[in-house]
Amino acid sequence: MQLQNLILVGSLAAGAVAGDFRRQVATNGTGSACAQISSRASRTLAASPSATPVVDGELALACLKSVPLGKAEALQLMESIFPYVEWQSDTSYIKDPPSAYLEPAVDIWAELNKVYDNIKSDKYAGEYEFQADLFKAFNLAHDGHFRFFPDLLTNVLTFHRNVGLVSVSLDGKETPQIYVHTDIVEKVENGLNPSPVKSINGEDAVKYLEYWSQLGSLNDPDALYNSLFFSKPFAASTPGFDGYFSGSARYGYIYPGNTTVIEFANGTSRSYRTTAQIKADLTGVTDGQSMYQKFCTGPSSTESAASTTSSPAATATATPAPGYPDPEVISSDNVISGYFLDSDKNSEVAVLSMLSFEPSTPAEFQAVLEKFIRHAKAAGKTKLVIDLSGNGGGYILQGYDTFRQLFPSIVQDGYTRFRYTEALAAMAEQFAAVLPEDFNPDSATDNEIQMFESPPNYRYDLNLENKHFTSLEEKFGPHEYNGDQFTSIIRWDLDDPLTTVNATYGMGMEITGYGTRRNFTQPFAAEDIVMLYDGYCASTCTLFSEFMHLQGGVKSIAIGGRPSSDPMQGIGGIKGSNNFAFSYIYSLAQLAIDSAEPGQEHSANWTALTELSELPTNRSTDTSINVRDNILPENLGDGLPSQFVYEKADCRLFYEPEMIVDVTAMWEAAADAAWGNKECVNGHLGLKKRTSTRARRSRKSPPRKMTVKVPANPVEDRSPWWTQKHGTKVPL
């Protein structure tokens, strides 16, 4: 397979695209490649300021390759990254994973040191090759919480194949085949009889895609394969997303070659020229050296073109995404919405769609869910399909609250732990020394609250028995597992108002099951709920899912995957329970350092704090470390993180053509598999089948879209470190 020379490089560029890329030739005849793309971008923006300039991909690659390597700066960058990687919670496990883990073992430290050694020995021809290798080293972990997006690689442009694919079974039973996305749309809408894709760039299509998928951040081969293709839920959450294969999102950082040649089973072929969308201001760029100066010397040197526009304000009601029906209720940001199935056979089924657990306003998400549940019960709905397709997680306690609205009498487990590091120990010792025993948030400074409401404070969080820790040693141990050291098991304190109801530091709402939200009634029996996955579920989505499955007893359906009828996991994303940006770890270190009194005797671990710097943040567009493992109840003894526990879905289905155009076709199939006569291609749900249909509601007119009213308190207006404490979704 001729894929080993794939070059990594871009992210989803939103908005209109413009450019006469078909007539461009990658040549230096009219100036350097960088000068050419800068000039063409300038002309495009002069003609249409809101457009996204598009240039030939080969020309863009030539520009990136012309950027010289800043050797000394690259070595400094690598040295500044290492102290943050110490916080990654599972390096010892991923180096030697259990046999059930489906991705290859990887020694993260060895891979990063290889990049470092390559810089020292002058193996890289330029900055681009170095940054591509660094990006790839992080990707090898298949951990959406473990990220470093270097500046040149991710700030300037993105590559696109200009063709999207889908994988569907024409009848839902036969092995899925690969098709061009638009061909399947034509089949559904106009009766086209499309030919499946046979090969891509001369390689067997399935093998090519399986290899290509391994460049992603998921830890399951079926989930990785699914992510290459267009799907309605992804397009709903990220307009313009056409699957990773097309060059959408993080796969835009990967140069796929000058052209993509697709050969079909009927003997025909199509060729697609690779283009690059320019997402940064290239003013002043004339060659590789000026490109380096503008993008590789820190934040003051450049601003992304996208950063000059602000996000639109949330409206009172949201417009459903294309391919979605009119909702019964929907949040203003489209993140959560509820529906009733219209078919007679599934007239008792309600559908809850959650594109993430990261809404603009957490209290609105909570209120939409509560109103939808009440509305569904009042309308006589007895079954619930929960669609978690494309859900990359979000705010941790949003997932907790959602579970408790569905199972209010079950106290969620939420067993977590950190890797024990010298920096964590130094922070913990310093915070314990300076925070008063009678801490009063009403009189405390913002810095004191940040220290108190952070994991290094032993008085924050709860232990395994949901009680407060009484000492540093009780919380931080350390305890040894798998040849590494970890803290004790840590759980969230959901009676802490600074964590929950506080509008600045907390969720801005009480969590269901606590405070005034204790007396809820379970709305659906476990056997009347089914969870639907496409494998992308990650982060908080996995926490919610584990609560639902292990504690609530809810069954699951996985859809899509590689072309086989083997079992498939519903959860293919990172199961870690918390990630920190490098900048947040640095801010905690600075809090500890700044709180030290002159002449104070420091702990032996103090130098670990001074080794943390802002350099990695300044040389990247995104950073993240999985700092907190999630431990399932059955692994409290052996300490195995849930990330390495194989959990197949109860039922597997294939995508069918109608599902590419209309998301309700997917929901109907899930409901039929759960309570009707549709057979799983693998597994079974074992749920009670419906014996008759209720035609009590045969409404064909659009539903009355309900709205909710909550105090305006968007996350963007809160404490700057709010999202680090409460969690963020895994970005595409």
Q: What is the pLDDT of residues 131-189, one digit of tens each?
A: 999 999 999 999 999 999 999 999 999 999 999 999 999 999 999 999 999 999 999 99
The tally of domains found in the chain comes to 3
- What confidence tier does 14 reach under pLDDT thresholds 50, 70, 90? very low
Examine the fold and report which residue of 642, 671, 695 is the final residue of a domain before the chain moves on: 642
Q: What is the pLDDT of residue 695?
A: 41
| Residues 409-428, mean pLDDT to the nearest whole number | 98
| Alpha-carbon Rg for the chain in angstroms | 26
Render pLDDT for 105-137 as a digit per residue (tens, 0 to 9): 999 999 999 999 999 999 999 999 999 999 999
Examine the fold and report which residue of 590, 622, 642 is the final residue of a domain before the chain moves on: 642
Answer yes or no: do 244 and 188 share one domain.
yes
Q: What is the pLDDT of residue 469?
A: 98
Answer yes or no: do 657 and 618 share one domain.
no
- What confidence tier does 5 reach under pLDDT thresholds 50, 70, 90? very low
Report residue 285 as tokens: 């760029």
Of 163-167, 564-568, 698-702, give the lowest mean pLDDT range.
698-702
Answer yes or no: do 537 and 664 share one domain.
yes
Render pLDDT for 662-681 as a digit per residue (tens, 0 to 9): 999 999 999 999 999 999 99
- DSSP H or E stretch at residue 664: helix 663-675
- What confidence tier does 300 reach under pLDDT thresholds 50, 70, 90? low
Cis check for the bond before 320: say yes or no (omega within 30 of 0): no
Query: Is the Cβ–Cβ distance between 291 and 152 less than 8 Å?
Result: yes
Q: Average pLDDT of the chain?
A: 92
Answer yes or no: do 538 and 585 share one domain.
no
Q: Is residue 394 part of a domain?
A: yes
Answer yes or no: do 610 and 651 share one domain.
no
Rounded CA separation 15/382 (Å): 42
CATH of the domain at 561: 3.90.226.10
Rounded CA separation 134/118 (Å): 11
Rounded CA separation 489/415 (Å): 6
Examine the fold and report which residue of 586, 609, 642 is the final residue of a domain before the chain moves on: 642
Answer yes or no: do 461 and 544 share one domain.
no
Sign of CA dihedral 704, 706, 707, 709: positive
Q: Is residue 44 part of a domain?
A: yes
Q: Is residue 265 part of a domain?
A: yes
Query: Is the Cβ–Cβ distance between 241 and 389 less than 8 Å?
Result: no
Query: Is the Cβ–Cβ distance between 162 and 670 less than 8 Å?
Result: no
| Residues 579-600, mean pLDDT to the nearest whole number | 95
Q: What is the pLDDT of residue 319?
A: 77
Q: Is residue 731 part of a domain?
A: no
| Residues 509-535, mean pLDDT to the nearest whole number | 98
Answer yes or no: do 545 and 582 share one domain.
no
CA angle 282, 286, 287 (to 5 degrees): 110
Q: Is residue 180 part of a domain?
A: yes
More confident residue, 21 or 527: 527
Q: Is 402 helix (H, G, I), strand (E, B) or coil?
A: helix
Q: What is the pLDDT of residue 603?
A: 80
pTM to 2 decimal places: 0.93
Q: Is 120 helix (H, G, I), strand (E, B) or coil?
A: helix
Of 46-55, 304-313, 580-589, give the lowest mean pLDDT range.
304-313
Whether 704 has a pLDDT exceeding 90, the answer reads no
Render pLDDT for 531-562 as a digit per residue (tens, 0 to 9): 999 999 999 999 999 999 999 999 999 999 99
Query: Is the Cβ–Cβ distance between 397 and 492 less than 8 Å?
Result: yes
Answer yes or no: do 667 and 567 share one domain.
yes
Q: Is residue 705 part of a domain?
A: no
Answer yes or no: do 615 and 668 share one domain.
no
Render pLDDT for 472-484 as a digit per residue (tens, 0 to 9): 999 999 999 999 9
- DSSP H or E stretch at residue 674: helix 663-675
* Sequence-distant (≥ 6) Cβ neighbours of residue 257 within 8 angstroms: 6, 201, 274
Whether 458 has a pLDDT exceeding 70, the answer reads yes
Q: What is the pLDDT of residue 693?
A: 53
Q: What is the pLDDT of residue 248?
A: 86
Q: Is residue 118 part of a domain?
A: no
CA angle 618, 620, 447 (to 5 degrees): 50
Q: What is the pLDDT of residue 31?
A: 75
Answer yes or no: do 439 and 580 share one domain.
yes
Answer yes or no: do 589 and 567 share one domain.
no
| Residues 295-303, mean pLDDT to the nearest whole number | 71
Sign of CA dihedral 112, 116, 122, 125: positive
Render pLDDT for 590-624 as a digit per residue (tens, 0 to 9): 999 999 998 888 888 999 999 999 999 999 999 99
Query: Is the Cβ–Cβ distance between 235 and 323 less than 8 Å?
Result: yes
Of 495-499, 652-656, 692-696, give the lowest mean pLDDT range.
692-696
Amino acid at 509: M
Residue 595's domain comprises 416-491+576-642
Report residue 401 as tokens: 């609250």
Strand 7-8 relative to strand 254-255, pairing: antiparallel
Sign of CA dihedral 456, 725, 623, 256: positive
If 0-12 CB within 10 Å is exposed, 13-18 middle and 19+ buried, where does residue 398 land? buried
Whether 304 has a pLDDT exceeding 80, the answer reads no
Rounded CA separation 685/665 (Å): 19
| Residues 343-350, mean pLDDT to the nearest whole number | 97
Whether 694 has a pLDDT exceeding 70, the answer reads no
Q: Is 23 helix (H, G, I), strand (E, B) or coil?
A: helix
DSSP notation for 286-354: -SHHHHHHHHSS-GGG--BGGGGSPPPPPPSS-PPPTT-PPPSEE-TTSSEEEEE--SSTTTTEEEEEE
Rounded CA separation 406/404 (Å): 5
N-to-C CA span, the chain: 27
Largest Cα–Cα separation, the chain: 80
Answer yes or no: do 564 and 657 share one domain.
yes
Q: Is residue 130 part of a domain?
A: no
Query: Is the Cβ–Cβ distance between 546 and 533 less than 8 Å?
Result: no
